[in-house]
Amino acid sequence: MDPPDPSPRVYKQQYLELIEENEFQKALSVLTKRLKSLERHQTFTGEFRDLCYILTAKSIQDAPLFKSWDGIVSARQKLADDLQSFLELEFGDQEVDNILVPENRLSTLLYQAVAYQVFNNKYHTEQSPSVSTLLEDYEPPVVPNTMKYIYSGHKSNIKSVTFIGEDGDFIASGSSDNTIKIWNVETSKIVCTLNGHTSRIWDLCVDKSGSTLFSASGDKTVKIWDIRDINTPTLVHTISESKGDVYSLNLHPLESHLVMGGYDKTVKLYDLVVGRVVQTFDDHELSVSSALINPLGNLMISGSKDHTVKFWDIMSGTVVNRIKNHLGEVTSISLNSSSTQILTSAKDNSNRLWDLRTLKPLCKYKGHQNTSKNFIRSNFMNNSLIVGGSEDGKVYIWNKDTGDIVINLEGHRGIVYEAKWHAKRGLLCSASDDSNLITWWYK
């Protein structure tokens, strides 16, 4: 019989240590990327459930299966003993004692890992890229400056665009012609068209695996599409829980719930497992233009035409904080990768950066136009750049820390509503009133 795989034990120890040290963001990353896939190998029934519960519990010991947890040091010793037992099962006592690790072997393996990541990223633009960490996959540090492809086929303006899947081989676009189109990134050709909505598409989102697409429409519905077969997607379900246009869609970090904001002034939390709305957030005075959930899953954030951004406790549904500094309707909100900063866009010709913990303003981005009856959105490109659309038909990229315009990209013949960055490809995609998408790259 094969010896048990020790990796779940190691990842579980890493997760519990992060919880103990209040590193909840990093803990969630380990839970979703490492432990979720190992759920079927759990030692005890309900173990993964308890691991999820620990994220919101007061202490690790509150979880029934972890009442015996007595600290990091003790747990590490127990893990070391278990790993020793594993090695003895794998090699036998004599062989374990005689295993010799060559000098500098670890550093050699790390250099090999760096070389592998760079070699397998065909989009990097430097001869010898510098890689400072292996905690995240290598991403090419580029600022797009040149148009690559124009994607034509929609019969009306395109409000929303998103890359599909980790590799971003496909793009989905939602248009006021009531259709969603999926495009091949490299050929700029239409792969398929999704019909079913009876009004314009306001927003799109895709799960991390690139297998499910969600669309929000002016027909008061959200549709769920199975896109595993990218050539022949199928409509799985239609959510009809709103009293008006649905403007915004975002997935819960565990992809178990969908958050929907719209014309009816509310944000709804829809449970994808049970198939119903489980929480309604109702305190805005006007339409909700953008809504999302933080990576910990305990805070919902919404932006509205009433000029405010509100922060809600997701369990109680109560407002716990708000931003009231914008002089115009809030058109979009987004979080940075570490969830320490929030970016807001509004119809006062400004995008603003805030410290999420203190709500202190950090930076203001100007130069673009956002004053009319349009949802102009902005997004984080990476840790140093902000990208956004504009009514003057340009795509603007700002330095996140200084607010300076790094570049504006010209090519569209109408309002640019949104631009999305795919880090692995080093590719930017913009959606416009001219019915076209454009991808931009560094050349």
pLDDT, tens only, 176-207 = 999 999 999 999 999 999 999 999 999 999 99
Total residues belonging to the chain: 443
For the chain, the straight-line distance linking the first and the last C-alpha, in angstroms and rounded, comes to 55
Q: How far is CA 63 from CA 9, 208, 443, in A?
A: 17, 28, 53
Range with lowest mean pLDDT among 69-78, 211-220, 241-250, 257-266:
69-78
Residue of 439, 305, 438 lying closest to 373 (CA atoms): 305
Task: Please determine, for residue 409, whether its predicted confidence score (pLDDT) is greater than 90.
Answer: yes
Q: Does residue 125 carry a pLDDT above 60? A: no
- What average pLDDT is seen over the chain? 89
Inform me whether the pLDDT recorded for 36 exceeds 60: yes
pLDDT band at residue 219 using 50, 70 and 90 as cut-offs:
very high
pLDDT at 414: 96
Between 394 and 69, the more confident residue is 394
What domains are defined for the chain? 7-97 (no CATH), 109-139 (no CATH), 146-441 (2.130.10.10)
State residue 23's pLDDT score: 87
pLDDT at 230 over 60: yes
Whole-number pLDDT of residue 34: 83
Tell whether the model's pLDDT for residue 373 goes beyond 80. no
Question: How many whole angstroms separate alpha carbon 302 and alpha carbon 322?
Answer: 9
pLDDT 10s digits, 319-370: 999 999 898 999 999 999 889 999 999 999 999 999 999 999 999 999 999 9
pLDDT at 347: 94
Q: What's the confidence (pLDDT) of residue 1?
A: 46
Residue 404 has pLDDT above 90, yes or no: yes
The proportion of the chain whose per-residue pLDDT surpasses 70, expressed as a percent, equals 88
Give residue 65's pLDDT.
86
For the residues 296-302, what does the mean pLDDT come to?
94
pLDDT digits (tens, 9 = 90+) for 61-91: 988 888 888 889 888 988 888 887 776 666 6
Is the pLDDT at 127 greater than 60, yes or no? no
Q: Which residue has the higher pLDDT, 254 or 140?
A: 254
Average pLDDT, integer, range 260-276:
96
Whether residue 316 is predicted with pLDDT greater than 70 in this model: the reply is yes
Instruction: Specify the pLDDT at position 56.
Output: 82
pLDDT above 80: residue 296? yes
Q: Which residues are within 8 A (CB) of 385 and not within 5 positions of it... i.e. 6 or more apart?
A: 143, 397, 398, 399, 400, 406
The overall pTM is greater than 0.75 = no
> What pLDDT is attached to residue 140?
61
Q: How confident is the model at residue 45 (pLDDT cuts 50, 70, 90)?
A: confident
Q: Is the pLDDT of residue 264 over 60?
A: yes
Q: Looking at 290-380, list the stretches that DSSP marks H as alpha helix, in order from N- to C-terminal side.
A: none
Q: Which residues contact 220 (CB under 8 A, 6 or more apart)?
A: 240, 242, 243, 244, 245, 246
CA distance 128 to 113: 15
CA distance 52 to 72: 19
Under the banding of pLDDT at 50, 70 and 90, the label for residue 239 is: very high
Smallest CA-to-CA distance from 422 within 225, 170, 192, 193 is with 170
Side-chain-facing half-sphere of 308: CA atoms under 13 Å = 14
